[in-house]
Chain A
């Protein structure tokens, strides 16, 4: 590859990181390659400012991750549904954490579309269609309220999913949590809307 000023530093940092880890914890990678046993599935935003493993200081192997625009969990989305099914049934996670965040560009766009002078038209692009449910949700809310309400709705969608309802029916106590990551402070907040086998 010809020298790429964007990606070359990324690859160099990776090489340095791998060297540092190997020195600090000899055998880390060999052990890690044997299998993964994360307890947590993080469903969060694709936003570059919300890298789950950095902001939770987690090591590789701790958090199974699905990130998309505005941390959605749509019932008809095979992508997210496949992640959930694999995470719960194959990997054995016991906590699903649906994390929204302040200053979400997707939420801001939906807020503007729903509350502007003209009503939103029919969705045209893939991004329009992806955000359509959130645009519908946004009417009459502030952008900040939308971020929180969006997390509530996605937690509900998760709790109603085949994967989660089947897990609960079979006695597995998988828990679904709704969190917000506050960009201004770098802190995670639990919204206190957890759904469990016995409380959903």
Chain B
């Protein structure tokens, strides 16, 4: 569709790649798109990851459309007072029947590094980005003197997993007998590999 603004080359390429991709899928699996549209989505996994362009969950896990429900924000945060992430969690568990929640942090995270450095120097939150990072800055204030930044990145994932486990949505799911699991992973930018931190929480433990 023609835009009133001439389309930048970057975006033009995106449209071309999308068209090419759609054609390839249509050729390989003729009913893929109509079926995808007609059926409800039934992903089993909610990925709570970072907005970082280098961590596109479906590419790094070679997943097909329909497999992973996704919420991505700065430094893969989950806190109960954040309506955005809360709504995604509630929709995932309550409406879609997702059973596995993966908090995926990653190495060389800019948001985490920013919080880590601010924790060491201290300043009041002013902008939305400041306010967003404030809890992580607070954590860094307590821990950054004794942890390297990559250890702090892992601690961040553990803390977000704890927040999920303490949330009303998860507690209610477990209380009703639904075995939702919460996992903490790290994506290593240097190797392209996902690593399970082994801090999984389930209904029974």
Residues of A within 8 A of B (CB): 1, 4, 6-7, 10-11, 13-18, 21-22, 28-30, 32-33, 36, 38-40, 46-69, 72, 74, 77-83, 85-87, 90-91, 94-95, 97, 102-103, 105-106, 125-127, 129-131, 175, 177, 183-192, 194, 196, 199
CB nearest to B49 among chain A residues: A65
Known: A48-B69, A95-B11. A14 touches B61 (CB 8 A): yes
Contact partner, A82, options B7, B41, B74, B83, Cβ 8 Å: B74
Contact partner, B45, options A6, A38, A68, Cβ 8 Å: A6
B151 in the interface, Cβ–Cβ < 8 Å? no
Residues from chain A with a CB closer than 8 A to the CB of B69 are 46-48
Contact B59 A18 (CB under 8 A): no
Residues from chain A with a CB closer than 8 A to the CB of B55 are 60
Residues from chain A with a CB closer than 8 A to the CB of B34 are 184
B90 in the interface, Cβ–Cβ < 8 Å? yes
Contact B72 A60 (CB under 8 A): no
User: Given contacts A127-B90, A183-B36, could you give 19 more A-B pairs where the C-beta distance is less than 8 Å?
Assistant: A1-B183, A13-B61, A14-B192, A17-B59, A33-B189, A46-B71, A51-B63, A51-B70, A55-B21, A55-B65, A58-B56, A78-B131, A80-B84, A82-B73, A106-B91, A127-B86, A183-B33, A188-B14, A199-B5
Residues from chain A with a CB closer than 8 A to the CB of B132 are 78-79, 81-82
Q: Can you identify 13 A-B contacts, CB atoms within 8 angstroms?
A: A11-B194, A30-B190, A33-B107, A46-B88, A51-B70, A57-B21, A67-B70, A78-B132, A79-B85, A86-B129, A177-B11, A184-B33, A188-B14
A-B pairs with lowest CB-CB distance, top 7: A18-B192, A130-B87, A82-B132, A81-B128, A186-B22, A53-B56, A51-B58
Contact B192 A21 (CB under 8 A): yes
Contact residues, B78-107 vs A (CB, 8 A)? 82-88, 90-92, 94-96, 99-100, 102, 107
Residues from chain A with a CB closer than 8 A to the CB of B133 are 82
Residues from chain A with a CB closer than 8 A to the CB of B82 are 78-79
Residues from chain A with a CB closer than 8 A to the CB of B194 are 10-11, 14
Contact A83 B51 (CB under 8 A): yes
CB nearest to B181 among chain A residues: A4
B175 in the interface, Cβ–Cβ < 8 Å? no
Contact A17 B87 (CB under 8 A): no
Contact A17 B53 (CB under 8 A): no
Contact partner, B53, options A36, A103, A186, Cβ 8 Å: A36
Known: A1-B198, A1-B200. A56 touches B21 (CB 8 A): yes
| Nearest CB of A to B15, in Å | 6
